[in-house]
Amino acid sequence: MIRKITGLTLILLVIFSIKAQAQCKINNTFFQAGEEMTYDLYFKYGLINTKAGVSTLKTIAEKYDGKDALKMTLTAKSTGTVKKIFNLNDTLSCYLSKDLVPLAYIKNAEEGKDYTQERVKYTYNGNGVSINTKRYKNGDFKFDETITSKTCMYDMMSVVYYARTINYTAMKKGETSKVDFISGKKKVNMIIEYEGIEKVEGNDNRTYNCIKLTLSIMDDAFSDKKEAMKVYITNDNNRMPVRLDSKLNIGSTRAILKSYKGNRYTVQTGQ
């Protein structure tokens, strides 16, 4: 009898887990494994505003916990003179299921004299999702927390890919979409604001018609807003990032598209 109950419990747990994940599933028609973009990286700090290095954003097919998944990786590295002033060597990765359910997030960031490591793992169950998040800074342990949520949760990498799937044709300039977001060891609100269509020049001698987005983090009371990133994605079936402006602990970076390959569709350029 105990074995039967245990077996039934396991079946129910699996069913509830599937239901929780199903709430976060997205039919991805925009990007695919093999997509890879290269960017020129610019650094701004005070009066310094100069070309600083290179950045890449790529998607590959990979296994996660034995299941087919997508791994997205963003790298950013400073070079030359800027590296002597401010060393930047960041690698951010996330794992998503084939239907874009967040599975894990990994951050290794060397910025100036600081080196930060973060690990986030998503576990889905009948009550929603449980997120374990860990951080080390300069080799020192900072936290190991578990957060629960009844809604879908995103991190700094997965939220960019989620933003590429939103239907902006039905939105007016200034309208927003809200998602729950993991920031360190806290659950906060991520606001994705649609700022219309704008022409953006790439560093490949092409101009792109882009959807301009501002991603901001807000507290639970929606009283404190902090801009995290600006993203310009092509206004075509690829929604390819052409420019990414990001905040750092010191200064900010701007990545401008230099080359691309492996896109799902032919990339449309502006006139």
Q: What is the pLDDT of residue 202?
A: 97
The torsion angles phi and psi of 184, rounded to 5 degrees, stand at: 65, -110
Collapsed DSSP state (helix, strand, coil) of residue 26: coil
User: Rounded to whole angstroms, how far apart are CA atoms 13 and 41?
Assistant: 46
**CB burial of residue 4 (10 Å; 0-12, 13-18, 19+):** exposed
Beta strands in the chain (DSSP E): 36-45, 48-64, 67-78, 88-97, 102-111, 114-125, 128-137, 140-149, 153-154, 176-183, 186-201, 207-218, 225-234, 241-247, 252-261
pTM: 0.87
Q: What is the pLDDT of residue 45?
A: 72
Q: What is the pLDDT of residue 6?
A: 56
CA angle 243, 203, 211 (to 5 degrees): 30
Q: What is the pLDDT of residue 218?
A: 82
6 token code pair: 């245990």
Task: Tell which residue, 137, 147, 160, has the closest CA to residue 220.
Answer: 147
Collapsed DSSP state (helix, strand, coil) of residue 39: strand
Q: How many residues does the chain have?
A: 271
Mean pLDDT of successive 10-residue segments in the chain (271 residues)? 49 43 84 97 79 94 96 93 82 97 97 93 91 97 95 94 94 94 92 96 96 87 72 96 85 91 91 56
Q: What is the pLDDT of residue 258?
A: 97
Q: Which residues contact 192 (CB under 8 A, 6 or more apart)?
A: 159, 163, 166, 176, 177, 178, 179, 213, 214, 215
Q: What is the pLDDT of residue 1?
A: 46
User: Rounded to whole angstroms, how far apart are CA atoms 113 and 128?
Assistant: 38
User: Rounded to whole angstroms, how far apart are CA atoms 256 and 113?
Assistant: 25
Task: Tell which residue, 184, 162, 178, 185, has the closest CA to residue 225.
Answer: 178
User: Rounded to whole angstroms, how far apart are CA atoms 232 and 98?
Assistant: 24
Q: What is the pLDDT of residue 19?
A: 46
Instruction: List, in sequence order, every residue forming a beta bridge with 55; answer none if it has no partner.
Output: 39, 76
